[in-house]
């Protein structure tokens, strides 16, 4: 499965690759922000 994804990625043109990577980057950033938000909420809850 993973190999197929890599092969598919190789066959894409540069524009499509760039958009795909930007999408992954955005998703990672969203996850990081969610984690940070959860940590902050936990800290706030501990203080109250």
d(CA 33, CA 11): 32
In a domain, 9, yes or no: no
In a domain, 38, yes or no: yes
> What is the rounded average pLDDT of the residues 10-36?
92
Count of domains observed in the chain: 1
In a domain, 20, yes or no: yes
Q: What is the rounded (10 degree) CA torsion for 15, 21, 24, 25?
A: -120
CB 9 within 8 A of CB 20: yes
> What is the rounded average pLDDT of the residues 15-29?
93
Q: How confident is the model at residue 1 (pLDDT cuts 50, 70, 90)?
A: very low
In a domain, 34, yes or no: yes
Domain that holds residue 30: 15-47
What contacts 24+ positions apart, CB below 8 Å, involve 10-17? none
Q: What is the pLDDT of residue 48?
A: 62
């Amino acid at each position: 499965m993973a190999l197929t994804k890599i092969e598919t990625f190789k066959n894409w043109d540069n524009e499509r690759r760039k958009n795909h990577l930007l999408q992954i980057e955005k998703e990672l950033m969203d996850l990081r922000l969610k984690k940070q938000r959860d940590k902050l909420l936990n800290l706030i809850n501990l203080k109250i």
